[in-house]
Chain A
Amino acid sequence: NAGVTQTPKFRVLKTGQSMTLLCAQDMNHEYMYWYRQDPGMGLRLIHYSVGEGTTAKGEVPDGYNVSRLKKQNFLLGLESAAPSQTSVYFCASSYGGAGNTIYFGEGSWLTVV
């Protein structure tokens, strides 16, 4: 079972470049999330989606955009990358809210130089 798949897994960007991280889930989950994790720290919520065509801001949304055109995909975009966006990015999904467990992808390591 694929679960939650993130691409790419590693990327080095120059300051000012743009890129898109793709998250795909094959579990028919309604909710999807993008988190970032900086060294030695917890996960901070960037954006999330409660269904196809919907998105909402999390704790640290500035500098990122997202889209959920298809239920199974959640895209995270960096329009003009900055060194402060160097981080590990995790995508996650869950069937619904409340007690539903969220399942994580393996992470995407992004370095902005």
Chain B
Amino acid sequence: AQKITQTQPGMFVQEKEAVTLDCTYDTSDPSYGLFWYKQPSSGEMIFLIYQGSYDQQNATEGRYSLNFQKARKSANLVISASQLGDSAMYFCAMREGRGSSASKIIFGSGTRLSIRP
């Protein structure tokens, strides 16, 4: 069963605009973590932001923030004031469980973001 769903295969956004990348997940475990990674055309995977299921506040890291809606099981990534360098593939990922049982990390299919000058 698909556990991480990213419904936007591709997006085009004007430079300096904010952009929201969607991610929904499916789990019955009350303990889980959600990650966002960026993959530029060079291929490396770059960690952006993390949200734990018990975190009370939405995670923020610089221009990145995570719009975490637990009841809807969504964890959308918001990039404020987009830049040309934000053009890349973006992956949402989830890790279920706690401690040593929280081992597997499953990824969504990704969203290709293109920033227009």
A59 to B108, CA, bound (A): 13
Of the candidates B45, B99, B109, the one whose C-beta lies within 8 Å of that of A90 is: B45
Q: Which residues of A contact B50 (CB under 8 A)?
A: 99, 101
Q: How far is the CB of B22 from chain A (nearest CB, A)?
A: 14
- Tell whether A41 pairs with B105 under 8 Å between CB atoms, given A98-B99, A101-B50: no
Q: Is A103 an interface residue (CB 8 A)?
A: yes
Q: List 14 A-B contacts (CB under 8 A).
A: A41-B110, A42-B91, A42-B110, A43-B107, A58-B104, A92-B105, A96-B102, A97-B103, A98-B31, A98-B97, A98-B102, A101-B50, A102-B35, A103-B47
Q: Which residues of B contact A56 (CB under 8 A)?
A: 103
Q: Which residues of B contact A88 (CB under 8 A)?
A: 43
Asked if A101 contacts B107 (CB within 8 A), the reply is: no
Instruction: Across the interface, name the chain A residue whose C-beta is closest to B55.
Output: A99
A59 to B2, CA, bound (A): 11
Q: Is A44 an interface residue (CB 8 A)?
A: yes
Asked if B105 contacts A45 (CB within 8 A), the reply is: yes
Asked if B103 contacts A50 (CB within 8 A), the reply is: yes
Asked if A98 contacts B52 (CB within 8 A), the reply is: yes
Asked if B108 contacts A42 (CB within 8 A), the reply is: yes
Q: Which residues of B contact A48 (CB under 8 A)?
A: 103-104
Q: How far is the CB of B10 from chain A (nearest CB, A)?
A: 10
Q: Is B106 an interface residue (CB 8 A)?
A: yes
- Tell whether A42 pairs with B105 under 8 Å between CB atoms, given A97-B97, A99-B33, A106-B44: no
- Tell whether A41 pairs with B52 under 8 Å between CB atoms, given A48-B103, A104-B44: no
Instruction: Across the interface, name the chain A residue whose C-beta is closest to B99.
Output: A97
